[in-house]
Chain A
Amino acid sequence: MIALKTFKKGGVHPEENKISANSPIQKLAFPKQVVVPLGQNLGTPSKPLVKRGDEVKTGQLIAKGESFISANLHSPFTGKVLKIDDAIDSSGYRRPAIFIDVEEDEKWEEGIDTSETIIRDIKADKQTIIDKIKECGIVGLGGATFPTHVKLMIPDGRKAEYLIINGVECEPYLTSDHRLMLEKGEQLLIGIKILMKALAVERAIIGIENNKTDAINHLTELAKQYAGIDIQPLKVKYPQGGEKQLIKATVNREVPSGKLPIEVGCVVCNVGTAVAVYEAVQKNKPLIERVVTVTGKAVKKPSNFLVRIGTPVQMLIDAAEGLPENTGKIINGGPMMGKAITSLEVPVVKGSSGILLMKNEESKRGVPQTCIRCSKCTLACPMGLEPFLLAKLAKLSLHERAEKEKIMDCIECGSCQFTCPSNLPLLDFLRLGKNKVGQLIRSRK
């Protein structure tokens, strides 16, 4: 038995509630019309290549990422471009998107292998892999949606030693990565091999929390045939899925403040991303679908769906047998970091990992009281920050001071707010402060 590792600083242990863990990934029916937002990745939004009235095939490139940190976008369905207009995103703001009228009989773009056969032989060389990943619009599917090809381009003078694969899924309720590891284990391992080749690293470590023993056993069995890939079971602790926490837990290295993981010779990718990389490189299939968990205590049929990008959230909820009556909040993502959505018309995007339906009584916030200086938030912060102080500074608009106190190191995990006995909205103010300090830093350039 391998000893369970974890990160040292802070962390909390919320109720796991992985109620959809045993429901296999199902394919979802096609919607009639989809909305594909142009800004699905971190960085600059993609630039549309199609215009109104164009016929598009499934997998056809419809928007191109032009700047350095940007990603390509492909049509998730066969159909006709209805218009390019603003559509509401999960926050209710209107952002540019491509509207597509879906046709029932599907035509795939040429050159895409849609068969189920697993191709184990990796023919592509390093540069081809990176180009392919860029072409297929792969972004980090853990939620941050950072373009993967940028991550694979190691800056001069640095060398990657480890590829760390994030199979932690520390957010309560969510099970999409868990199901993916169980059902697409082989594809995942080939994807990891491809990423290893692109990075020229010898070792890859898959970090999986100990509450997913079936996935750990399954992958350990499969990994015997793949040299250099280790499975590392980890102690259950939130936010272990954070990039910096995972590096600390698996290889015991600490990423310096304000630096990227490559500084300590690590590159971190999500399991979903690795599977997408497999499909892109081996099957030439662009990123047009992802696994989304639909869950919640009152949901009749908590499920995991393989969903095409652009499908409205309403359809996912219908497929999980409808909206429970006393739903108080619909959250895009998990309960710790996710944000409530304002409308069911919102489409699934590359970064959506789950839709959580919270009961009315669960979703209510406690009444905020004064800070009693108990320091629980400081102890819970996995980045070693002082959330009570940073929240106060953000509230008082003392942005320079907040910057000195390293507010930009905050990973917005919400451990502080979770642990606060006074129900203070710490994370909310930290997000506000981060936003303001970010503006301040950008204005200096």
Chain B
Amino acid sequence: MNEVLMYALMTLVLLGTVSAVILYFVAQKFKVVEDPKIDLVDEVLPKANCGGCGFPGCRSFAEVLVKSANEKHSLEGLNCPVGGNNVMKEAAAILGLEVEEQEPLIAVIRCNGSKANSPAKVNYDGPSTCAFAHNLYAGEGGCQFGCLGLGDCVASCDFDAIHMNPETGLPEVNDKCVACGACVKACPRGIIELRPKGKKDRRIFVSCINQDKGGIAKKNCEVACIGCSKCFKVCPFEAITMNNNLAYIDPIKCKLCRKCVEVCPTNSIHEINFPVRKKKPETEEEIVETNKTMAVTHDTKQDSNIESQS
């Protein structure tokens, strides 16, 4: 009996030793040398795996960061929009480098064709995906550039930052937005744009991408950009460009003076997070005249506010 036990033990020991030796050489041969910095950098990244940096997942972004630091000694062009400047600074510190401050971005919806502004002419009852509806038809309101309101952007968001407003039928972005750009890619019409958050979260943008001629655009939507170039003329900083009957405000050149918002005849330029406007001293008669209607609406709004307060 003892003999059997002994043979068994010896065989096992022999097998173990031989395998250990083989494994040792194999491990030497196929050794993967990974920069330990990758693990450290990966540690500080937000682990959202959203792809906002342009790479598939945080781990591969960490690899790219380390590679860039080793080869080019800079992290230029690389940014984690989710983590923002803090995370990028931490990562740079691990790699012994410094990064430039990047202005945080946020997604803006460049369409205001709500159910009220662009009333439905036809009803859509197909599958609720914008990608399909975009191939099928122009949209319920008739605008071939506007929001289809079926929520592909909402489905694409990993951060709970974009939701449909059932009243307007348009998506709305909240503070949770990290500018990963998933919704920008998901929107088949390219309505969503990533723009700098701006000082004190103040932003001005043209909330329309309709390139039709003015009359046609206006026929389909009350608040469409009609390409009248008034904003282009009034802008003192040359931040506005006109292209294909559409105004575009360059967020870098824009100094947030709000002159364009005042002159826009269709209210298609939006200002966000600005304090309520003081009543204008009537010096420039021309502007006041063109804005009479707007001024009236402002007044009534203020009045109603006062009434509700009292």
Which residues of A does B touch, CB under 8 Å? 86, 88, 91-94, 339-340, 342-343, 364-365, 368, 395, 425, 428-429, 431-432, 435-436
Contacts and interface: CB of A to CB of B under 8 A. Distances in A.
Contact of A429 (B125, B127, B142, B144): B127
A92 B139 CA distance: 8
Given A92-B142, A342-B137, A342-B142, A428 B132 contact: yes
A368 B128 CA distance: 11
Interface string B52-85: 0000000000000000000000000000000000
Contact of B144 (A93, A339, A343, A435): A93
B135 A432 contact: yes
Interface string B248-279: 00000000000000000000000000000000
Given A425-B127, A428-B126, A92 B138 contact: yes
Interface class of chain B by DSSP: loop
B227 to A, nearest CB: 14
A217 B126 CA distance: 42
Contacts of B33: none
A339 B132 contact: no
Interface in B110-156: 121-122, 125-127, 129, 131-132, 135-139, 142, 144
Nearest to A95: B144
A88 B138 contact: yes
Given A92-B139, A343-B121, A429-B127, 12 more contacts: A91-B138, A92-B122, A92-B138, A92-B142, A340-B137, A342-B138, A365-B125, A365-B126, A368-B127, A425-B126, A431-B136, A432-B131
B137 A93 contact: yes
B127 A92 contact: no
B222 interface: no
B42 interface: no
Nearest to B136: A91
Contacts of A425: 126-127
A428 B135 CA distance: 10
13 contacts: A86-B212, A91-B137, A92-B122, A92-B139, A94-B144, A343-B142, A425-B127, A428-B127, A428-B136, A429-B127, A431-B132, A432-B131, A432-B132
Contacts of B125: 364-365
In the A-B complex, the 8 residue pairs with the smallest Cβ-Cβ separation, listed nearest first, are A92-B138, A425-B127, A432-B132, A91-B137, A342-B122, A92-B137, A93-B144, A93-B138
A391 to B, nearest CB: 9
Nearest to A368: B127
Contacts of A91: 136-138
Interface in B16-57: none
A92 B126 contact: no
Contacts of A429: 127, 132
Contacts of B212: 86, 94
B135 A431 contact: yes
Nearest to A363: B125
Contacts of A368: 127
Nearest to A88: B138
B51 to A, nearest CB: 14
Contacts of B126: 365, 425, 428
Contacts of A86: 212
